């Protein structure tokens, strides 16, 4: 600030006189003129530009944690706290979820089955345990409801369905696709929450017809179905709400599924036809 004041008023006052009044050395002022920014300030400006570029590539949905991973992918050396400071100063913020309308929710308690899965999300073989859930997606023509079935062994979506209404048919179509595609030879454990779609008579009849065992989360505990909740969260933030249409996985902006897959050695989240696949 002192050097900037001297540079602004040097045409009106003598430089050395202003240095004496402001208690600075003239040599320091002339050195500042040659390089106004320090080395750390120049490095902050360079990394801020990289963070802004990665943030724009993600559709302006990434927070400082995933932007820090992108900088590491570029070969940069920095800590998460520094990335958090740079993003805060640059006004870079993550987009988090949808706003929910306040209100009271009541009704009769649903008939739930036991939580057989009990958060055992790591299984040893495919088609042993599936998780399913349903979510809403805001579109220009209203809400669309998406139901998916995920295999816990590979974390791959093996069945899905979408409809304009949140009915039992949505989850039944997704489960029917999963059963038709995988054709499990043994009894499969299917885990869900206590939504009305998963407690209906049609759902129970479908499970009995296809030799599926039902496991249900405890009331009001979203951690019991954390795999499906995490999938929907990443899907909305990184794919549905993106402002860059038609973009696929890249090094500069990768979805969390891709990042986890690259660390575990299973490859990108896009379908692969390699012989080393786990499916």
Of 143, 110, 124, 132, the closest CA to residue 232 belongs to 132
- Tell me what pLDDT residue 85 has: 92
- Tell me what pLDDT residue 84 has: 93
Q: Are strands 212-216 and 142-151 parallel, antiparallel or unpaired?
A: unpaired
**If you search the block for the tokens 């990335």, which residue do you land on?**
83
Q: How far is the C-alpha of 56 from the C-alpha of 165, rounded, in Å? A: 33
**If you search the block for the tokens 């023509």, which residue do you land on?**
141
- Tell me what pLDDT residue 97 has: 67
Per-10-residue mean pLDDT of the chain, 279 residues long, equals: 78 85 82 74 88 89 90 89 92 76 56 77 87 87 89 89 88 89 86 82 83 79 82 80 46 40 40 37
pTM for this model (two decimals):
0.52
- Tell me what pLDDT residue 110 has: 52
3-class SS of residue 11: coil
Cα 25 to Cα 5, 6, 7, 10, 11, distances in angstroms: 14, 12, 14, 15, 18
Q: Are 217 and 193 in contact (CB under 8 A)?
A: yes
Q: Are 217 and 248 in contact (CB under 8 A)?
A: no
**If you search the block for the tokens 């009915």, which residue do you land on?**
167
In the chain, what are the helix, strand and coil shares in percent, each to the nearest 5? 45, 15, 45
Sign of the Cα torsion 59, 162, 137, 134 reads negative
Of 242, 217, 203, the closest CA to residue 62 belongs to 242
Of 102, 138, 156, the closest CA to residue 267 belongs to 156
């Amino acid at each position: 600030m002192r050097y900037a004041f001297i540079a602004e008023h040097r045409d009106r006052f003598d430089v050395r006189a202003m240095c004496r009044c402001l208690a600075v050395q003239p040599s320091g002022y002339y050195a500042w003129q040659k390089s106004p920014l320090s080395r750390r300030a120049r490095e902050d400006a360079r990394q801020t530009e990289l963070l802004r570029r990665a943030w724009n590539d993600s559709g302006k949905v990434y927070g400082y944690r995933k932007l820090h991973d992108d900088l590491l992918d570029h070969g940069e050396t920095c800590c998460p706290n520094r990335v958090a400071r740079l993003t805060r100063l640059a006004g870079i913020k993550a987009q988090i979820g949808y706003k929910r309308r306040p209100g009271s929710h009541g009704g009769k308690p649903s008939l739930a089955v036991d939580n057989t899965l009990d958060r055992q999300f790591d299984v040893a073989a495919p088609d042993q345990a599936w998780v399913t859930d349903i979510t809403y997606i805001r579109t220009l023509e209203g809400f669309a409801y998406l139901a998916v079935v995920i295999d816990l062994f590979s974390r791959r979506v093996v069945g899905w369905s979408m409809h304009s209404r949140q009915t039992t048919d949505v989850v039944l179509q997704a489960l029917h696709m999963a059963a038709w595609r995988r054709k499990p030879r043994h009894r499969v454990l299917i885990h869900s929450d206590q939504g009305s779609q998963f407690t209906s008579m049609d759902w129970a009849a479908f499970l009995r017809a296809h030799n599926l065992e039902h496991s249900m989360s405890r009331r009001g505990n979203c951690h019991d179905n954390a795999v499906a909740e995490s999938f929907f969260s990443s899907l909305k933030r990184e794919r549905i709400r993106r402002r860059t249409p038609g973009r696929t996985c890249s090094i500069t902006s990768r979805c969390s599924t891709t990042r986890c897959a690259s660390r575990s050695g299973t490859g990108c989240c896009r379908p692969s036809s390699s012989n080393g696949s786990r499916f």
